[in-house]
Amino acid sequence: MATIYVDNKPYVVNEGRNLLQVCLSLGFNLPYFCWHPALGSVGACRQCAVKQFKDEKDKRGKIVMACMTPAAEGVRIAVDDEEARQFRETVIEWLMANHPHDCPVCDEGGECHLQDMTVMTGHNYRKYRFPKRTYQNQYLGPFINHEMNRCIQCYRCVRFYQDYAGGQDLGVFAAHDRVYFGRHKDGVLENEFSGNLVELCPTGVFTDKTLKGHYTRAWDLQTAPSVCVHCGVGCNTTPGERYGLLRRIHNRFNHDVNGYFLCDRGRYGYEFVNGERRVRTPLLKRDGALGPVTRAEALTEIGKVLSGPAVLLGIGSPRASIESNFALRELVGPDRFYDGVSARERQLLSAMLSTLRAPGVHSPSLREVGEADAVFVLGENLAEVAPMIALQVRQAVYRSTVPMGERLGIPAWHDSAIREAIQGRHGPLYLATVTGDKLADVATRSWCAAPDDLARLGFAVAHCIDPTAPSVSDLSEELPGLAKEIAGALRSAQRPLIVSGPSCGSLAVVQAAANVAISLSAAGAQHAALCYDAPECNSFGPALLDGHGLDEALQAAKSGSVYAAIVLENDLYRRADRAAVDAFLEGAEQVVVIDHTVHDTTKRADVVLPAATFAEGDGTLVNNEGRAQRFVQVFKAQGDVQESWRWLGELSRTAPSNGAWQNLDHICTRIAETAPALGEIARVAPAATARFLAQRIPRQAHRYSGRTAIGAHVNVHEPALPEDPDSPMAFSMEGFPSTCSSALTSAYWAPGWNSVQALNKFQAEVGGPLRVGNAGVRLWEVAEGHDHKYFEVIPPAFQSREKEHLAVPLHHIFGSEELSVLSPSVAERAPASYVAVNFRDAEALQITDGENVQLVLDGIPYRLPVRILPDLPSGVVGLPSGLPEMSWVKLPGWGKIVKEVPA
Amino acid sequence: MLSMLRTLWIVFRHAFRRRVTYQYPEQPVPLPPRWRGRIILTRDPDGGERCVACHLCAVACPVDCIALQATEDEHGRRYPEFFRINFSRCIFCGYCEEACPTYAIQLIPDFEMGEYNRQNLVYEKEHLLIDGPGKYAGYNYYRVAGVSIGGKGKGEAENEAPPVDVRSLQL
């Protein structure tokens, strides 16, 4: 700690920070542009000028940039100094000299850091009379809109895009007053974090293109704290709604999870909520066609079967909330509750879950991933599967070089100087994946091999770390050296991290990663961590409820018993073989599907009940680290849409069954009683009865407009506000905008701070955790003791076959996930289906890039164009997983490529 | 007694004064030009809609009686898709006009808006939009702002230099 003097008052502050961060943390309103808590200092904008004095007697002082000056012991500065104030005002006047006169049509308006800072410095009137500099804009793809005239040259965009996110295709061009930020030519921004430019740019150069399509000012959005549903990482989000339409997703700061950033799938996948494929009313099949009915009719129809002789099977879903899955389990009974994932995924998930909950294995939060100093990625193409983990791994390899700079006397926050000093060096990162990963540019070594060989490498690394771990025989030439190198790097690290997961569909890979983690723990590594990514937003949820396997349910069709099925938010055709699902659905007395989107399974249903999406309902999701997080309803959907657990509650009241609940708290209490693994669920967010100064927390900003005109065209008499029985928030602008629970805070605002940077005012230290703590509850913490039980089954080395190829799934950030691909902007970025082949195999098969071939898998032929992937191992072909036009294929599996003979 | 006589005298004298009562509605009421009455949306001198759907009027409105939705034409010119004022809530404070950065929304000297049915006091864009520029004849926002719209590219607004060519040094 150090004592510094600001305006002659002493303050005790953290040492090793810069003056800007310290001043902002102390609550001073000091304007800045180029500095960002996650990006560090560069000193580009000259906005945060303060006056520094040598000592008490120094009355003259000198102007310094706060962001470039260390907060050392005894530093004396003046923020409120006339000369410094004038300096800041003049700087902003220069920055504004060429700023176009377009705030009214600028999407940033109302949450613009430049607007805030201009007001803060007191620059009101324009003195500059000469022509303004202008720029041409670029087309940057479906996510980002470019309006270069508004640029103030703070360099945040390129620093984030290139240095932080590892992007290559956004740069800075030209010099002095003609500096241009963009691509070398028009085209889609390739980096999967480009959407963050929207929040990062302090002005309106980069804005959200999907928001532009249905533009609404930030103050007019109704928001609630939410959690991203497009992968298993569980980033915290703030969805905004207006006129019943979801308008955008913004980042919601959670220091333990996503921090300041989101990936583009999470930011732009939201439009499925507004999509044409939504189910809005109950549907009933009559004469072979589904048609809308009233909810009473639908419930009566289901009630007939519920009270009938048919055995009721409940198929849960990893993309439905815990509450919904639990409600289904309550309705059908634990013996007939199935977790709704494919047999292989179930096997992988349970292996991952049992390893993570074993003593001695630490499952790190996303922030901890970014703090690791040696990383070993086994089997996962992180940039495609869990991009936010990839982003944190990228930070980890950068951060582990910071001590190098610090030895030269450069403080850690001095980002540009550190990067200059380390000259592109990076910490140890070993990638062992099926095909090349985007992280390869910062990897120490990257190695591509078939899943079995990856697992063998993992087992070999574990054996190198701890000789009692099972050893791998007959390693190929390069492997022992590589395994030794990785083991060495992990052993010598303070906070070694292994990242793995289910994406290549191999149990051996998951077990090998577990062995490495166990071996590190056995070797005495105190802070070793094992991060598995989860495929879906609540993959661990149904697994914690001890559901049976989906395949067991599908067997019911063959057993000849009389059964009916309730399918919860799940498209079974994405989980199992088409024929088996067909047989199951046809054999059922009645198929009830509760979902929000029409898909193949709803089309085969007898009754469809409209479920709420994450934006229209409340629930809890468990992410890949075992953190339970609440998403709160953003708006009341039209029609009969309601949460699945509410539908199931209504059904259980019509049937002679137990478990009736009226609101989320009832069901959470019931879960805590019934499922010990989820005992903490009620602690995830305050109960619905909580009040803050005897009031609810408003979902709408205090500047929300149009209350008395929104519905006036329908009826001039304003309707009563919707009730919210599930959370202590109100669908109103009235109430107490308390920020005392981060699980209930969706937007941060402070006087004079209307942009996302208002967050500064709510952090204990700017860039650090929120003052009130971060949202979410970890369901398990690392238990004491070491579990030295290694997985012993080591697969034999991969042998390529003469006529066959091993088909493995290849994931795509845009396209592989079921819901986000329904968003038009994401769909635009999704690839067409293909089969990936490596050079040598292509040569042997005499096929070329783009040529159509037939891939025969399980006897079913798929006609696909070839894509040559040089990194793919020989004897392995890749198939994109989860694309809408591809049906479910059991992967990995052996298939045969047949060259098409031209007719 | 004296005060009664005085009162009578005053009343008598007033009988010969000039009448201040207007025989409304037979006789129109003279209103000052800055009277804050019925709200209109105006057009710029080129005939385009002035409103750029910036939502500032809506947020300035103390009774929240303005609701609108922004949209854009194919060239990027922003305008309101719908623009609704609930005059049964409007208090004619004029804050919307004050907030409007484009002189689009204006309050005019007209108060004759009475309705038997309250629902008829909900005005949509077609009821609000007039064909002229209203009080501010010359102003054309899109000629000043830096965004490009149909017929006006980058660098073609007032007091703008031609767009920077970042490749000017390339041969």
Nearest to A189 by CA among A139, A232, A150: A139
Interatomic CA distance for residues A436 and A869, integer angstroms: 9
Q: Do A101 and B144 touch (CB under 8 A)?
A: yes
HEC assignment per residue over B6-61: HHHHHHHHHCCCCCCCCCCCCCCCCCCCCCCCCEEECECCCCCECCCCCCHHHHHC
Q: Which residues of A touch B124 (CB under 8 A)?
A: 713
Q: How far is A886 from chain B (nearest CA, A)?
A: 35
Q: Do A100 and B146 touch (CB under 8 A)?
A: yes
Q: How far is B98 from chain A (nearest CA, A)?
A: 14
Q: Do A101 and B124 touch (CB under 8 A)?
A: no
A2-80 and A805-899: same fold?
no
Q: Which residues contact A578 (CB under 8 A, 6 or more apart)?
A: A887, A888
| Cβ atoms < 10 Å from Cβ of A398 | 21
Q: Which CATH class is domain A355-532?
A: alpha beta
pLDDT digits over B64-104, tens only? 999 999 999 999 999 999 999 999 999 999 999 999 999 99
* A150: nearest CA partner in chain B: B146
Best residue of A98, A99, A101 to probe chain B, by most B CBs closer than 10 Å: A101
Q: Do B67 and A712 touch (CB under 8 A)?
A: yes
CB of A186 within 8 Å of a chain B CB? The answer is no
* A701: nearest CA partner in chain B: B59
CB A388 within 8 A of CB A262: yes
- In the beta sheet, which residues pair with residue B78? B72
Which amino acid, one-letter code, is at A839? F
Q: Which residues of A touch B141 (CB under 8 A)?
A: 104
* B125: nearest CA partner in chain A: A713
Cβ-based contacts under 8 A for chains A and B: 133
Interatomic CA distance for residues A55 and A5, integer angstroms: 10
* A182: nearest CA partner in chain B: B166
CB of A894 within 8 Å of a chain B CB? The answer is no
* B100: nearest CA partner in chain A: A104
> What are the E-state strand segments in A668-717?
697-698
* pLDDT means over runs of 10, chain A (903 residues): 92 91 93 93 92 91 93 92 93 92 92 93 89 94 94 93 93 90 93 94 94 94 95 94 94 93 95 93 92 93 88 92 93 90 90 88 92 94 94 93 89 91 91 92 93 94 92 83 94 94 93 93 88 93 88 85 91 90 92 94 94 94 93 92 91 61 87 88 91 94 93 93 92 91 91 93 92 90 74 90 91 92 93 92 89 88 91 91 83 87 68
CB of B112 within 8 Å of a chain A CB? The answer is no
Q: Is A652 helix (H, G, I), strand (E, B) or coil?
A: helix
Q: Do A132 and B147 touch (CB under 8 A)?
A: no
Taking the CA of residue A394 as centre, how many other CA atoms within 13 Å lie in the half-sphere pointing to its CB?
22
| Cβ atoms < 10 Å from Cβ of A155 | 19
CB of A174 within 8 Å of a chain B CB? The answer is yes
Q: Do A709 and B64 touch (CB under 8 A)?
A: yes
CB of B155 within 8 Å of a chain A CB? The answer is yes
Q: Do B164 and A135 touch (CB under 8 A)?
A: yes
Confidence of residue B170 (pLDDT cuts 50, 70, 90): confident
Interatomic CA distance for residues A556 and A588, integer angstroms: 9
Q: Do A174 and B164 touch (CB under 8 A)?
A: yes
CB of A139 within 8 Å of a chain B CB? The answer is no
Q: How far is A110 from chain B (nearest CA, A)?
A: 9
Whole-number Cα distances in Å, A493 to A78, A426, A489, A497, A828: 42, 14, 6, 9, 42
Nearest to A167 by CA among A147, A195, A192, A142: A192
Q: How far is A221 from chain B (nearest CA, A)?
A: 12
Q: Which CATH number fits domain A2-80: 3.40.1350.10, 3.40.50.2300, 3.10.20.740, 3.40.50.150?
A: 3.10.20.740
Range A805-899 has CATH code 1.10.10.410 = no
Nearest to A211 by CA among A319, A135, A110, A99: A110
Q: Do A216 and B68 touch (CB under 8 A)?
A: no
Q: Do B66 and A709 touch (CB under 8 A)?
A: yes
Interatomic CA distance for residues A352 and A340, integer angstroms: 17
CB of A150 within 8 Å of a chain B CB? The answer is yes
Which amino acid, one-letter code, is at A328? L
Interatomic CA distance for residues A402 and A368, integer angstroms: 16
* B73: nearest CA partner in chain A: A213
- The helix (run of H) or strand (run of E) holding residue A554 is helix A550-559
Q: How far is A118 from chain B (nearest CA, A)?
A: 18
Domain residue ranges in chain A = 2-80, 355-532, 805-899
HEC assignment per residue over A715-737: CCCCCCCCCCCCCCEECCCCCCC
Which amino acid, one-letter code, is at A563? Y
Q: Do B166 and A715 touch (CB under 8 A)?
A: no
Question: Which residues of B, range 44-63, sit inside 8 Å of A by Cβ?
Answer: 52-56, 58-59, 61, 63
* B64: nearest CA partner in chain A: A706
Q: Which residues contact A11 (CB under 8 A, 6 or more apart)?
A: A3, A4, A5, A22, A26
Q: Which residues of A touch B126 (CB under 8 A)?
A: none
Q: Do A710 and B70 touch (CB under 8 A)?
A: no
Best residue of A98, A99, A102, A106 to probe chain B, by most B CBs closer than 10 Å: A102
Q: Do B147 and A105 touch (CB under 8 A)?
A: yes
Q: How far is A129 from chain B (nearest CA, A)?
A: 8
Q: Which residues of B touch A147 (CB under 8 A)?
A: 147
Nearest to A134 among B70, B78, B146 (CB): B146
Q: How far is A286 from chain B (nearest CA, A)?
A: 40
Q: Do B65 and A131 touch (CB under 8 A)?
A: no
Q: Which residues of B touch A172 (CB under 8 A)?
A: none
